Every structure is written in structure tokens, then in C-alpha cells.
Chain A
Amino acid sequence: MGFSLDFLMQGFADALSWTNLFWAFVGCLVGTLIGVLPGIGPSAGIAILLPITTMIPPTSGIIMMAAIYYGAMYGGSTTAIVVNIPGEASSVPTAIDGYEMAKQGRAGPALGICAIASFVAGTIGIVGLTLFAPILSNVALAFGPPEYFALMFMSLSLIISLSGRALLKGLIAMSLGLLASLIGQNPLTGAARLTFGWVDLMAGLNFISIIVGLFAISEVMINVERSAALIYESRIKGWMPTWEDIKRSFGAMLRASGIGFFLGLLPGCSPAVTTFIAYDAEKRFSRHPETFGKGAIEGVAAPEAANNATSTSGFIPLFAFGLPTGPPLAVLLGGLMMYGLQPGPMLFQQNPKFVWAVIASMYIGNVILLFLNLPLVGWWARIALVPFPILGPLIALFCIIGAYGIRFLVFDVWVALIFGVIGYLMRKLSFPIAPMVLATVLAPMLETSLQQSLLLSQGSPVIFFNRPIAAVFMALAILSILRGAWVQFKTHAPEIALDDADE
């Protein structure tokens, strides 16, 4: 089951066959497209294309579906940077600095750095997958409910740095986010909450509708109000990142790749979660934290690297145990099983040709994506030059299609529109939006793991502190909260505001 160069070389030979190369390319292209469109995520994309896979050989089919997943991570950043609308939940942190860069006329370099960071992280991720798959697969199992709760709690404490100067407003935004995700059935007991007897609310609010509303629709509304002619008016300086940009963000890419890779091994730690953690880590690590939120290129590179590393390392528990770490991988698992391929330790022994061909194809896929994305950078960045009276309605249209596409329910469209209004009001009153999104993304897992942990411990919260992994996360979270509070009260001119709400 361990690493063998022979197997990898054989894998490359298979992956480089014309058929496999073609399907890898198709997957990359579709993935990028899905990433660009807000609302339509990789799970839906893979699910829609599943029927095609019954017509092509298993290896090609899985190669294509895998390419859609990591390809979507490349595409998600595009609209986040150019028009401040994250194409995927995982690109929310990218929008913070990416959009600022775009406003300064540096959309091209921001997009370029995304492609490069994605490539670097994707490749690091695959090297990790190649060499350590068998060893690392156990990490997923070490995480039980208490560990998850501690990790989610730590992630939630990032709100402090995400809200910057406006700590109180950030906390209010967070509470709103948590409240919104409470609507619907309790994920474990099924008890209905905050539905007011309205059956449509039973299934809860989908966080993709919430994100589409908060970011995209409110952005359109703000621009309409300003009767903007363009999304932002500024000279565009250069399409490509400079060597200086790459040098500045290279460290960030490597660190974020590491964070994304390890968190990606855990079921439930979707790229949407890891990108926030990577962004925050980079901000703390940086010698110039004041530039974050004002167009720091590291702030773009870090989340983009993290989401690619996460999507790649998710294949480790999938192949090694048959454990999907997120919905797109669950669909992939379904695909594997449709072909009669049983993931698990036996997969490496019984179908080595298949496994290594897929792994090898991921190296190739990343190269394809780099070439697919870098030359198109200028083209994507030009979207912002489309006059707003044309672009605005188009964005609104895509938002509505995207929101409808989640579950094919008109209800989700209404949710997106309502959150558009909420997002508009929040921007007007300069409430930061990112903490609300983070809270909505984390809440289901936070709640589930808290309930499960307390059941396991029969009500005692000590369970979060007497298990080593959980204790470390809890300590980090508490330190982060104390530090945030101290900075807030002591200095009055604290960490740098990360107010994506103010203009």
C-alpha cells in the first residue's frame, strides 16, 4: 500500500493516454466554469455529470470527476476578485483582499496569484497524497466529536481578527450568522426550531443562498444606488503578477498549503472552513498585518492555496478508508461504487493501476489548470470593464440561477434575496459580512459536535480539555479570544480593521 515509484510511473503512463488526458481536460474546464458561477458548487457539478461516466471507462470517469472538484477551486476566486462575489464558499476570504486589489487596478495580478497559488498548493497536496497517503489516513480517525468541537470553536474565534476594529459589530454579525443557521431541524434530533410552523423552513437555510445574498445581491444593490457606471473605476495596471508579487506571497502559499492539507484530511473540514483559517494564520504571521484587508497579495494567495490543498488531501481518507470528507467527495465515492470499486485499504492492493492513474492525472490536471487559467487572467479581469448596467443584471441573474440550482427550490431564491437585503443593510451600517458567513459555515458542525460530545461525556464539558488534540485547540481558541479582548480594551487603536463593508 506504500509509495512505489514504479506504480507512479505506470500511473503517469496511463494518465497520459489520449482518452484520459481528454477527460482530465474536460474535467478541468467544467470545474473552472462551475467555480466561476456562484451557487453551483462542485458537488452539483459532479452529480450532474455522473450519468456521462457510465459511458466512459472507470479510470477516465474518476479522473474527470476529480478534476471537476479541484478545478472548481481554481475558478471560485475569479468573481470573488473581480466583482466581489465569491463563486464558492471557499473563496469568501479571497474576496476580502482580492477585491481591494482589483479596486486598485490590480485584478490581473490578483487572479494570476490565485492561479499560481492554486497550482503550487495543488502540487504540494498531490506530492503529500503520493508519499504519505497510508500514514496520514489515520488522522481522520483521531478526530472524534470533542476534537471537532474544539477545532470549530477555534475557527469561530477567528471572528475577532476578521472583524478588526469593529469587534462588537463583528460579534453581532456572528450571532446573526449562528441564528440563521439554527433555523430548521436540529441536525441530530430533528426537532424543528424557529420555523414558526412553516414547513418550508424545516430543511433550514442553505448557506450557499446566504452567501449569494450577502455578497452578490447586496453588491448589486449598492452599485445600483450609486448608479455606478462600472463595478469600480480605476486604471488597470498590468495583467500579470510581477516577480515581486510572487516573492512576497510565496511563503504564504507554502504555509497555507500545509494548513489546508492537514485540515483537508478531516471529514467535514471543507475548503470553506480551511480558507478562513489559512487567511487568519497568514495575517497573524505577516510582518505587515496592517496591509491585510487593503489589498495584500498574501491575503489572496493564502486562501487560494489552502482550498486547493484541502481538496487534494481529501482524496487520502477517500481512497484509504472510503471516507468522504465533504459532499463533492461523497458524490465521488458514489461514482467509485457505481464502477464497483470499493475504496479502502484494499483499493491500493486490488486496483493499483486505477489509483495511481488517478493520482498521476492530478499532477497533469494541475498543469492543465495553470495553463487554462493564467492566459485567461486578462480576459476574466476585463469582466469588470463591462458597463454596470449590463453586468449588474447579469450578476443578479446568475445569483438567482445559482440559488435555484442548489436544491431546485424557489424557496432558496427567496432566501438569497432576503439575505441580499440584509447584506445591503449591513454594508450601509458598516457591519462586516465575513464573520456572519464564517458563523453560518461553521455552525452546523459546531452544534452537532457539541451535542455529541456532551452526550458522550454525559454532560461534562471536561471532555474538551482532557483529550490532547481537543485541549490544544481549546487553548489556542481561548488565547485568541483573550488577546483580542485585551487588544480591544487596552489600546483603542487595535489590529487593523478588516472592514469589507466600508468602501
Chain B
Amino acid sequence: MTKRRIGIGLLYSRSGSYSLISEACRSGALAAIATVNADPDRDLAFVPVERDPQGNVDLYGPLCEEILRDTPARHVIGCVTSWSRKEVIPTLERHGGTLWYAVPYEGFEASDHVVYTHACPNQHLLPLLDWVMPAHGRKAYLTGSNYIWGWEVNRLARERITQAGGEIAGERYLPIGSRDVGRMIDEIRYARPNFILNSLIGPSSYEFLAAYRDLGQRDPHFLPQTCPVLSCNMTECELPAIGPAAEGLVAAGPYFRGIDGWPDAGRFGSSHEAAAYVAVLELARLLHGHPGAEALPLSQLVAQRGAGGIIDPETHHTVLPALIARVEGGAFRLLHRRAGVAGDPYLTRGTSAVIAPQLRVVS
């Protein structure tokens, strides 16, 4: 089959504080591009157009503009932080472009120009809280990096935990990149919560986990069995940077390596990789057999070609399994699974009422 050559933007930072996640997404996207290009049954081949914002949030808008203005690419796979995603949306609107976003985020967004292929809170945070409160107790300490991801995840956690009769023992934020975790550890030591929700990113998170492991060695209350650290954004791609301090960490996500789920189990190193891979394959499916479809705005593309695909036409979110897994011996082991959870970015579609039904702990 003759292949149409279609430009596809890649907007991932190859350096900076969250580069491990960018690299995971990027390799998932590149693997999918290679798959599509090698598939003789697809009438298209993707030509990657790469720009590297180097972890600088102010470069995302201009570089996205460069892709959409100076090249034929209309679809961009990219962005890790919510902050950078918000930066590129006006550019996407102006040029009728589409961003495929493959990272968990805090919800409360449903752009007409973005497809969200990773989890939002009803697919990560809420199942995680539903699991942890019956298992460990309702007294929480909340941490996060100082930007919208941590703020919003913790706001929602605070709301859910207090609704369930729990309490917030403390809440503290660090600037992105900061390793100044001493005060958090002190507060945790005195507050003695039942669990810690960690929405720190990059080096702040690695430092925190290392310091918390030390604390656990001094005081057994802070061992993972009694007071675990939870995360909605931790995946395999960051485990090497954390080392043994990751042991016992409990994370929520749509996919963990080696655990049956979504998509081809075992094929991907992390859910970031898997979500970016799925994004590119879905784009290929939408464009296959329809020359010119690559120039359509996302809403029209989904309206005309979306049937049988993964994109909810109203919210542009996807149906994902909600898995909860714990790091044991350097890999995630499944604790709990909720299958087929549709993304509900505004928590208005009935999933918001789910508080601790009878959950079965798989061990």
C-alpha cells in the first residue's frame, strides 16, 4: 500500500526536572510511529517533527507554534506538566491543531483541541483513596510540587478525605526542582499520619522518598506497611532514579509493567510509554484510509471517524483500567484493579460518589 507521509509533532523536554517522564512518553510515541510506518496495511507513514523545550515552560507555546506554523503537522504528541499543556492550548486553538497528552493530570479540563490518553482523578486519585482509607486509616499528609498538579490533586484529596470522615494532618509544597524536604519530614514525624499522598515531581520526589525511607528506619511507624507513600504520577520510568527508597510505594495508574491491563501487557516500560503509544496508534486509526483527514480539526475527526475508537466525543478522555500497585523488589505488584473506568474530568458523571465500597485487596 502506498503510504501518505504525514507530519506529526513531538514536543517533549529531553532535559530538565521531569525528563525521565518525557523520555518515556517520547519512546512510546516513537515506537508507535515505527509500528505504523512498518505496517503494510496502513496507508500512511508518520514523519516526526521534534522540538525540545528543555524543561522550560516558556518554550512550549513558541515551539508548538513553530510546529503548527512552519510544518504541515497538525497533531502534536507532547507536554508533561499541566502548566506546559495550558501554555500550548491557545496556540492549538489559533492553528486548529491537536495535542495528544499522555500523562496523568488533575482533571477539570476538556479542551476541544486535546486528547487525554492517560488518567484523570476518577481514574487515579479516587480509586487510590478508596483503597487506602479502609486499608490504612483516614489521617493523611499531603505533599506536592508548587504548581497546579499538586495543588489540585491535594484539594480533591482533602475534599474526599474529609467527606469520608478523615483528617488532613498537614499539607506542604516545594518549588519544582527543590530538594528541601527536611521540613516536610519533620512535620510528618510529629503528625504521624496513616498515609502520605506524594504529588511531588522529579528530584523533589526522589529526595523526599529517600528521606522518608531514612525516617522509616528510625521509627517503624513510617515503614510502608504502616504508613505508605501514595502517588498518582509515579511509574516505572522513575524507579531507577529512586532506587530502594521506592520500595513499598503505592501508585495508581492505568498500566504497570507485567500486569495485565492496557494495552499489550509487558510491552511497555511504563504507563507513560503506553499512553503515548496508544495516542499515536489511535491517530493512525483515525487517519487511515482518509487522505486529507490529517487537516481536520479534532472535533470533526472524532465525529467522522471516532466510532470504534477510544476517544469520548464529549470530553476527549478515554476509558482506562484503574490499577493500584505497590513497588516490591523494584517492580510494581498489583493490589487492586477496577476495570474500564471512563475518564470523568469534571467528576460529574456519577463516579464522584464512589467512596469505599467493598474493595478486595489482591495480594
Q: Do A and B bind each other?
A: no
Interface positions of B (Cβ within 8 A of A): none
